[in-house]
């Protein structure tokens, strides 16, 4: 009897990914105490992570999970649909949410007034609701709704930054993000016009029978521009550097590793699952648009990063470049290319999150993330700076780190497609990453701190442990690639409709 | 098919371009938000226009009526309107904070102040 009840409850696990953080957000607002709200958020975030692991295990064992919300059967009702692709993305998003939240209290004490902490955690959970919802929903309109839930809460999170620049960065992101969201809505409307359905799986079936026409073409363009803004594809990345620089360090670590990744997932889902590779790349030639933009992003992002004096801002520009690699993988439209793009989603999330947590630690101890503040930190904060070095090596793509794994697959994808200049460009742009990482390493290890600076201690364990978990993961998944690459290539095969 | 052919869609495009132009060209943040609203409203009109069926009535079951308009886009737009209101509310509250912090809501003046801050 009880077992039967539990078994029935465990069928509802997909819905819990959305409902649990949504309810917990309101609980955070009610409890009002900073520590209590943090505890609530922690329980939900780690619970969601475990839940995502269970769901991934089920998908691997039994195939795609379809959950009819409220018992209304798809394609009429709203479906939550978890396959290999979004099970992987969900695991990344919930995992990052949980780890960043674990690291947050010390850093937040410095940047957000304590009486506002419960509101901060409520916003954080709302953002998590939106991101998880976008990832697992099987309904196109639902993607828009969850996108706006996550976007609205992220605008508010960014505005919590200590300087007034956080406010202008937030409104800049709001204006661009809303235009992006509205374009996605417009694109979904056009697909609905042509297919008469909002269910993603059903849309794919209907679109395949309709074939290419002008409405479908404009729909793809609208979705491309909309997700492009949220994903910060060059040249639609203008909002990103400011937002990442002036947001609280914790928010930056969280958003950099999740928001753009979920936007990338949405683009992949629309291009490969809904439009399908033959339509998007064969008839509508999406690769001709995306590939030059991706390559431009790889170079422009890295190049501008070299000249930044604020290291947080430098990492933000580096994100623009790394997004370029992901989009390049998408535009190659082959198993290796798409595997490279998807595995880079996973890899970039863990390494960039680790690096931004290093920024949080430096900001906490040294009071600034400008380059001058790093002088002598190699000796004063050895563990923190060692984490930066490992994360930086991964950004460059040194073997035995995850950065190498993703670049390996991207180069393979480029060579398979006969595009050897693209492969050369991938390697060249990695050299730019070497320059901007080296600048920081040089100052941290080889420049003496000015005598007048007060003694700087190592970062607290509450920040150091999550950072090293992520940095450890960049090495672990750089050596043992079966989980990340195995899943990504299986997802790529599924998206390209090639049997395993 | 629609009554009046593609006429509603021309209005949609006109509104959309007006909204985008206002967002891009105005420096005043409140005007920018108004532009954003116009842009969002154009998409709402787009959905409403596509739900209309020629000769169709309101989708309420009644004797002797077989052609109904599609109610689904209207329902979707209720959600989109809520999203639009939430966005405007958040944006306006940010504008209030910006005005408190900088003493202006003109974007060119804000840029000028931030440039001075950087130096």
- DSSP category for residue A367: S
Q: Which residue has the higher pLDDT, A56 or B52?
A: A56
C-alpha span between A329 and B32 (Å, rounded): 36
Given a cut of 90, whether residue B82 has pLDDT beyond it is: yes
Question: What is the token pair recorded at A131?
Answer: 């991101």
Distance from CA of A477 to the nearest CA of B (A): 39
| Cis amide leading into A453 (omega within 30) | no
Cross-chain Cβ contact B50/A189 below 8 Å: yes
pLDDT score recorded for residue B1:
46
pLDDT bin (cut points 50, 70, 90) of residue B3 is low
The answer to whether position A209 is within a domain reads: no
Q: Are A291 and A324 in contact (CB under 8 A)?
A: no
List chain A residues with pLDDT less than 50.
Answer: none
Whole-angstrom distance, CA of residue A146 vs CA of residue A93 = 14
CA distance B110 to A380: 38
From residue A118, how far is each of A24, A93, A244, A277, A333 by CA, in Å? 11, 21, 22, 45, 44
Does A375 fall in a domain?
yes
Q: How many CB atoms lie within 10 A of CB B31?
A: 16
Question: In which residue are the tokens 């991934």 written?
Answer: A56
pTM for the structure as a whole: 0.93
In the structure encoding, which two tokens stand for residue A164, read together?
Answer: 């007034």
Beta-carbon contacts of A218 under 8 Å, excluding residues fewer than 6 positions away, are A187, A190
A162 touches chain B (CB under 8 A): no
Q: How many CB atoms lie within 10 A of CB B45?
A: 17
In a domain, A116, yes or no: no
Domain ranges of chain B: 7-118
Rounded Cα–Cα distance for residues A455 and A465 (Å): 22
Q: What gap in Å lies between CA A162 and CA A110, rounded to an integer?
A: 9
Other C-beta atoms lying within 10 Å of the C-beta of residue B113: 16
| Mean pLDDT within B46-75 | 84
Positive or negative torsion for Cα A374, A378, A381, A383: positive
- Decide if A194 is inside a domain: no
Nearest CA distance, B116 vs chain A (angstrom):
12
What residues in A contact B97, CB-CB < 8 Å?
Answer: 159, 167
Residue from the list A170, A189, A198 with its beta carbon closest to the beta carbon of B46: A189
Q: Cβ contacts (< 8 Å) between B39 and chain A: which residues?
A: 179, 182
Nearest Cα residue in chain B from A181? B40
Q: Is pLDDT above 70 for B83?
A: yes
A137 Cβ contact partners less than 8 Å away, ≥ 6 residues apart: A78, A79, A80, A81, A143, A146
Rounded to whole angstroms, the maximal C-alpha distance in chain A is 72
Strands, E assignment, A130-221: none
CA distance A41 to A254: 14
How many independent structural domains does chain A possess? Answer: 1
CB contact under 8 A, B98 and A156: no
pLDDT confidence of residue B50: 87
- Give the count of beta carbons closer than 10 Å to the beta carbon of residue A149: 22
Q: Which residues in chain A (136-155) have CB-CB distances under 8 A to chain B?
A: 141, 144-145, 148, 152, 155
Render B73-109 in DSSP notation, one character per residue.
HHHHHHHHHHHHHHHHHHHHHHHHHHHHHHS--BHHH
* Helical pair A249-268 and A84-111, crossing angle rounded to 10 deg: 160
Query: What is the C-alpha separation between B111 and B105, in angstroms, rounded?
Result: 10
Nearest CB to A175 within list B32, B43, B117: B32
Burial environment of residue A314 by CB neighbours within 10 A (0 to 12, 13 to 18, 19 or more): buried
The residue behind tokens 């992002």 is A301
Query: Do the beta carbons of residue A468 and residue A350 sit within 8 Å?
Result: no
CB-based contact B47 A189, cutoff 8 Å: yes
Place of tokens 């990052």: A96
Q: How far is B50 from chain A (nearest CA, A)?
A: 7
The SS3 call for residue A333 is: coil
Residues whose CB is less than 8 angstroms from the CB of residue A338 and which lie 6 or more positions away in sequence, other chains included: A268, A272, A329, A330, A332, A413, A488, A492, A495, A496
Beta carbon pairs, A and B, within 8 Å:
71
Chain A CB contacts of B33 under 8 Å are 175
Q: Which of B29, B43, B102 is the closest to A185 by Cβ?
A: B43
Domain that holds residue A318: 304-500
Cβ within 8 Å, pair A167-B94: yes
- Residues of B in Cβ contact (< 8 Å) with A178: 36, 40, 87, 91
Rounded to an integer, what distance in angstroms lies between the CA atom of residue A64 and that of residue A87?
9
In the prediction, which pLDDT does A452 show? 64
d(CA A291, CA A288) in angstroms, rounded, equals 6
CATH class of the region B7-118: mainly alpha
pLDDT tens column, A213-229: 888 889 999 999 999 99
A197 close to A203: Cβ distance less than 8 angstroms: yes
């Amino acid at each position: 009897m009880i077992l039967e009840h539990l078994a029935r409850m465990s069928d509802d696990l997909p819905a819990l990914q959305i409902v649990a953080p949504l309810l917990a957000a309101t609980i955070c607002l009610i409890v009002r105490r900073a520590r209590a709200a943090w505890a609530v958020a922690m329980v939900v975030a780690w619970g969601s992570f475990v839940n995502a692991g269970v769901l991934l295990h089920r998908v691997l064992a039994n195939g795609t999970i379809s959950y009819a919300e409220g018992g209304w059967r798809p394609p009429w009702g709203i479906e939550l649909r978890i396959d290999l692709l979004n099970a992987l993305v969900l695991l990344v998003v919930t995992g990052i949410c949980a780890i960043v939240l674990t690291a947050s209290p010390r850093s937040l004490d410095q940047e957000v007034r304590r009486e506002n902490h419960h509101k901060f955690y409520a916003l954080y959970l709302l953002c998590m609701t939106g991101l998880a919802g976008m990832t697992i929903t099987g309904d196109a309109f639902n993607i828009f709704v969850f996108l706006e839930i996550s976007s609205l809460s992220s605008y508010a999170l960014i505005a919590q930054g200590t300087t007034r620049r956080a406010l202008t960065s937030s409104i800049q992101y709001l204006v661009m993000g809303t235009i992006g969201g509205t374009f996605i809505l417009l694109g979904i409307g056009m697909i609905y016009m042509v297919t008469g359905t909002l269910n993603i799986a059903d849309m794919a079936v209907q679109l395949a029978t309709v074939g290419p026409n002008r409405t479908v073409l404009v729909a793809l363009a609208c979705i491309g521009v909309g997700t492009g803004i949220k994903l910060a594809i060059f040249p639609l990345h203008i909002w990103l550097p400011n937002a990442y620089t002036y947001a609280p360090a914790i928010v930056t670590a969280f958003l950099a590793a999740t928001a753009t990744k979920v936007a990338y997932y949405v683009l992949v889902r629309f291009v490969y699952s809904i439009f399908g590779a033959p339509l998007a790349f064969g008839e509508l030639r999406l690769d001709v648009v995306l590939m030059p933009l991706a390559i431009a992003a790889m170079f422009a992002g890295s190049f501008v990063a070299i000249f930044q004096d604020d290291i947080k801002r430098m990492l933000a520009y580096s994100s623009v470049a790394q997004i370029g690699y992901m989009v390049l993988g998408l535009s190659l439209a082959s198993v290796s290319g798409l595997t490279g793009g998807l595995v880079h989603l996973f890899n970039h999330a863990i390494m960039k999150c680790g690096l931004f947590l290093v920024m949080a630690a430096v900001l906490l101890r040294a009071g600034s993330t400008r380059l001058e503040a790093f002088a002598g930190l190699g000796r004063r904060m050895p563990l923190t700076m060692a984490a930066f070095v490992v994360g930086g090596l991964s950004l460059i793509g040194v073997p035995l780190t995850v950065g190498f794994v993703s670049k390996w697959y991207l180069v393979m994808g480029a060579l398979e497609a006969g595009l050897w200049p693209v492969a050369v460009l991938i390697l060249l742009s990695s050299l730019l990453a070497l320059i901007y990482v080296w600048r920081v390493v040089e100052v941290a290890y080889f420049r003496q701190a000015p005598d007048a600076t007060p003694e700087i201690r190592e970062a607290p364990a509450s920040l150091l442990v999550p950072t090293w978990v992520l940095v450890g993961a960049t090495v672990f998944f750089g050596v043992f690639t079966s989980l990340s690459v195995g899943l990504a290539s299986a997802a790529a095969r599924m998206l390209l409709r090639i049997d395993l | 098919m629609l009554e009046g052919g593609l006429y509603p869609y021309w209005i949609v495009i006109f509104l959309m371009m007006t909204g985008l132009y206002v967002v891009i060209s105005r420096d005043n943040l409140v005007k920018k938000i108004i532009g954003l609203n116009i842009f969002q409203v154009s998409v709402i009109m787009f959905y409403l226009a596509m739900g209309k069926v020629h000769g169709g009535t309101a989708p309420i079951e009644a004797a002797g009526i077989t052609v109904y308009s599609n109610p689904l886009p209207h329902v979707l737009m209720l959600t989109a309107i809520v999203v639009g209101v939430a966005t405007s509310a958040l944006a306006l509250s940010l504008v209030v904070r910006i005005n408190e912090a900088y003493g202006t809501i003109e974007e060119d003046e804000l840029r000028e102040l931030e440039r001075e801050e950087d130096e």
